[in-house]
Structure 1
Amino acid sequence: MTDGAKEEKLKRISESIRAFPDFPTKGILFRDICPILKDPKSLAAVIDLFEEYVRQNHQDVGMIVGLDARGFLFGPLLAQRLGIGFALVRKRGKLPGPTVSVAYDLEYGKAEAEIQEDAVAPGQKVVLIDDLLATGGTLNAACELMKKQQAHVLGCLVVVEMKDLNGADKLKPHTVFSLVQY
């Protein structure tokens, strides 16, 4: 893909993201990716850019792992393009069968994320995907789940990164590739 084509796709994605002040609480500026999903060209642009990045940087990826719930919107499309599988990281109690879980801190409490025991294999190389990186708590929990499963995290993909919240620092040594930064 040419640099001009990349820039055009990034512009389309960026213009599709809406800002909602004071949602879900006062003082938060919410970045809404729903318009990307309504526009097939914007959605294709997201997947095109993620696909190019993964093919260039993680050729040996064996599985895309999506985070509940918006990672489920982009992850299967990317996995299909790459010809590999997709696994889900969900909130505790949402997956059937034996699971592995990890607890993590939220801004105002705690949560647990889990994955089915057989979703990823020991030694499997995975890329994690979500819609947004803020403080990094959820993605970090997913990285911990992969560690418990003895899978190898090649990197993390997000559509939007809130740079001022320093979420990428929490994920080190794992890399984060984001399409749009605020």
Structure 2
Amino acid sequence: MNMKYHIETAWENCINNIVSLIILTLVAAAVSIVSIGILAPVAFAGYTHSLFQLLKHNREPKAQDIFSQLRLFLPLFIFGLVVFIITVIGFTLFVIPGILFTIIMGYTCLYMIPIMVDKQYGLLDAIKKSISMVTSSHLSDHIIVFIIFAALTTIGGSSFVGFLFLQPFATLFLLSVYETIK
């Protein structure tokens, strides 16, 4: 897998659409914060859809795109709730099971949202497809993609300004990889 190509693709799309990406990221963050995280997964799905449109059709992201995937609210809410409960139990028992569960879920569901948005798959089918994608071939490439994506979102999440610039870059990087392997 050509990581340099995916990083350059994400970078060029970020630089060429920086203002609209900042607005889109601000709206997604505002929706997530105002809804106390309840709408965060569906807002991220809309965010992903908008960045897909940028990547595939060079369509400028729009703030209203955040609400374009509301049909995914119930499955993503239930999934998020189950993952949250299991993670809390893992951290309550011992810290290590919680950390391991979080890493395993993050890796196996790496492409879940892009698959749900792109192919209109249901939750379980998207999870199965994502697991299939990250375990079938080029395992080391997917691990590197996961590490880069996780590092970018973690570093971006450490500051507000970092979030505004690194979240679109990380998402575009992930979508660029997804586009080549789907």
TM-score (norm 1): 0.32
- The structure richer in strand per residue is 1
> TM-score, length-normalised on structure 2?
0.32
